[in-house]
Structure 1
Amino acid sequence: MASPSHRRSPSKRRTGLVPAVAVAAVVLVISLIMALRPDGDPTAGHAATAPVAGSQSTTPQTARSASPKPKPKPKPKAKPKPKPSKASPTAPSAKTTPPSPSARTAPQPVSASAPLAGRIRPEGTYEGVATFYDAGDGNGACLYGPTDDLMTAAMNHTDYETSKACGAYVRVRAANGASVTVRITNECPLPCAPGQLDLSAQAFAKLAIPSAGRIPVTWSLLSPSTSGTISIRYKTGSSPHWCGIQAVGHRNPVARLEVRDGGGWRRLARTEYNYFLSEQGSGCGGAIRITDIYGEALTVDALAIRPDVLQPTRLQFAAH
């Protein structure tokens, strides 16, 4: 029988072999795992490893400096729209559209701030053309009635200016040096252009032969000498409840007409047909004040309302 010492020696050798076998098995397993990875790259597991805090980036410094990440540009702030100023409204002004002929047939109120001379001014010289028409008995849009003096003319629609030109005396000059003085008694409707005068045939014959038909002219406002005085006429249909009043035979164009109303003067609206209307009857039959384009005011004592009858006065505007 072997001694105990000989039985323990084989046991020690078996104990020493166990760790070696375990290590070999582990190495084999690891090798199999690495061989079975889809990409077969033994370093693939390290590429996805997040860098440790505080470590430098693996991106080369030269690459970062060559193509720096652009900083986002700040978006421009929208400028607030300016609010329209009360002193400078954005609404268009200046450009006014002239009313249509149908709209201008209604009485037009006279503005207290309107210049007395209107479009035709005493110091102006106007260029245009002269044509002619059959003036008949001399009556026209100004409703002065028939006249024996046919040195008359119709003013173009624009310069007629709601009958402000009615009764004006103008001197017309042709390019050949001939001239004639006419009184405005009518309106030449559109398409008569600004500056155009449509003369009576008799007045045109003073400037050129009728076959010329249309000639260039210049013309200017006159304040002629006259021995006549102004007359007042109430329109047909006038009464203490409604009346139309006009002045006839004035040397200078009439700028406004007023009637005595209570303790003051009330300005009347002027019509296209050269009458000033009191539609509510205020001042009808009372005192009348007429003012010319030079600012001279003449007061006519109260007159009876006699429709369509010329009532003479002893008054006349001064010459200028």
Structure 2
Amino acid sequence: MGPRTTTQHGTPPPRRRHGRKPDLGVPLVLGTLALLGCLLLAFLPGSGNGSGHPAGDSAAVAPVTVPPLTGSPAMTADPTNVPTKPPSTGPSTPSPTATPTPSTGPGPRRTSAAPPAAAESVAAAGSVASTGSLAGRIKPEVGYRGVATAYDAADGNGACLYGPAPDLMVAAMNHTDYESARACGAYVRIRAAGGASLTVRIVNECPLPCAPGQLDLSRQAFAELADPEVGRIPITWELLSPATAGPMSLRYKTGSSPHWCAVQVIGHRNPVAALEFRTAGGWRRLPRSAYNYFLSPGGSGCGGSIRITDIYGQRLVVDGIAVKPDVVQPARVQFARH
């Protein structure tokens, strides 16, 4: 057998590679490049998305709430200019849906219930009249106390100069509440202490010493409440907007012309608060006389368009009423019921 070579296998081969200083040049360059790449990716826009933080979760600029314009949702200043909800102050509730108010034309938005006519609303004209805000001393939904007396109404004509009445359920308003003809044409519901009641129309004035609250009834009307022999009874009464009423009419006074005129309203459901003529300078409000005519001393607007306003603020415009003295001309309109 030849010599054993155990010594060669038992002794490790020379380890020159481990005996030298490691060559770190290439790995160091590669590591540096990897680090730079990571840093570059970290600073790229949008690099935070998908990294566990919500997009836009930055403390750079806090949102500023901008006061909303009327009728618009609140907006939040945002670099992306995307509308956001205003801060929540409690459980979320749906915003009410605005419902258009039906055009009621004049005043209290009920003109649509009246017969066809040109009409407009106090609200549309720039002011909103509350219920009965144009009334004088006699206001709707208010009860009054007084006494009822009786007089001989003859054919039912009186200080309001309406002419003969179709029936004699009429009354004269005391001087104070008559208020220079503002009460003319008003419907009043009267109740006696015993429970009897009736509705009368104001066509006359009861002069002093008739006291505030007093109504002087036609003898026929008084008999509906008590024995006419009694002569005087305590009552309560209130303004009424009756369910049945035909169209209104207009009448120019005797002597009216394009140079001077006076006009009155007849058969109105609600008391009249104002009457205006259309002139070259716009609507002109006419003064009301104690004998229930609206006067245009210089003739301005006579024969033109007429605008009538009731105590509830409803306005009706009537055209085609010529200056025909002492002629009742139909207006084909009526105030809505209240």
TM-score range (shorter-chain normalised) is 0.5 to 0.7
Are 1:173 and 2:191 matched, yes or no?
yes
Are 1:216 and 2:234 matched, yes or no?
yes
**Equivalent residue runs for 1:72-111 within 5 Å:** none
Are 1:271 and 2:289 matched, yes or no?
yes
Cα distance between partner residues in 1 of 2:266 and 2:274: 13
State the AA in 2 paired with 1:234. Y
Are 1:240 and 2:265 matched, yes or no?
no
Are 1:152 and 2:170 matched, yes or no?
yes
Cα distance between partner residues in 2 of 1:302 and 1:286: 7
Residue aligning to 2:141? 123
Residue aligning to 1:231? 249
Are 1:281 and 2:293 matched, yes or no?
no
Question: Alignment partner for residue 210 of structure 2, among 192, 197, 215?
Answer: 192
Q: CA deviation at 1:123?
A: 1.3
SS at match of 2:176: helix
Q: CA deviation at 1:299?
A: 0.1
SS at match of 1:212: coil
Cα distance between partner residues in 2 of 1:253 and 1:286: 23
Is the Cα contact below 8 Å between 1:288 and 1:302 reproduced in 2? no
Q: CA deviation at 1:148?
A: 2.6
Cα distance between partner residues in 2 of 1:190 and 1:115: 27
SS at match of 1:158: helix
State the AA in 2 paired with 1:259. F
State the AA in 1 paired with 2:193. A
Is the Cα contact below 8 Å between 1:259 and 1:286 reproduced in 2? yes
Q: CA deviation at 1:302?
A: 3.4
State the AA in 2 paired with 1:303. I
Cα distance between partner residues in 2 of 1:316 and 1:227: 8
Is the Cα contact below 8 Å between 2:245 and 2:267 reproduced in 1? no
**Equivalent residue runs for 1:27-46 within 5 Å:** none
State the AA in 2 paired with 1:181. T
Is the Cα contact below 8 Å between 2:251 and 2:326 reproduced in 1? yes
Cα distance between partner residues in 1 of 2:189 and 2:137: 16
State the AA in 2 paired with 1:230. M
SS at match of 1:270: coil
Cα distance between partner residues in 1 of 2:260 and 2:208: 31
The count of aligned residue pairs is 209
SS at match of 1:277: strand
Q: Structure 2 length normalisation: TM-score?
A: 0.61
Is the Cα contact below 8 Å between 2:185 and 2:201 reproduced in 1? yes
Unaligned runs of 5+ in 1: 1-111
Cα distance between partner residues in 2 of 1:278 and 1:261: 11
Larger Rg: 1
Q: CA deviation at 1:177?
A: 0.2
In structure 2, the CA distance between the partners of 1:227 and 1:156, relative to structure 1 (3 Å rule), is closer
Q: CA deviation at 1:263?
A: 4.1
Post-superposition Cα deviations, 1:25-57, rounded to whole Å, max 9, x if no partner, equal xxxxxxxxxxxxxxxxxxxxxxxxxxxxxxxxx
Cα distance between partner residues in 2 of 1:158 and 1:282: 31
Q: CA deviation at 1:116?
A: 1.0
Q: CA deviation at 1:227?
A: 4.1
Cα distance between partner residues in 2 of 1:303 and 1:314: 11
Cα distance between partner residues in 2 of 1:121 and 1:278: 28
SS at match of 1:250: coil
Higher helix share: 1
Post-superposition Cα deviations, 1:250-295, rounded to whole Å, max 9, x if no partner, equal 0000000000011410000001000000001010011000000000
State the AA in 1 paired with 2:269. R
Root-mean-square deviation (Å): 1.5
Cα distance between partner residues in 2 of 1:265 and 1:230: 21
Are 1:201 and 2:219 matched, yes or no?
yes
Post-superposition Cα deviations, 1:100-142, rounded to whole Å, max 9, x if no partner, equal xxxxxxxxxxxx9995111000011000000000000000000
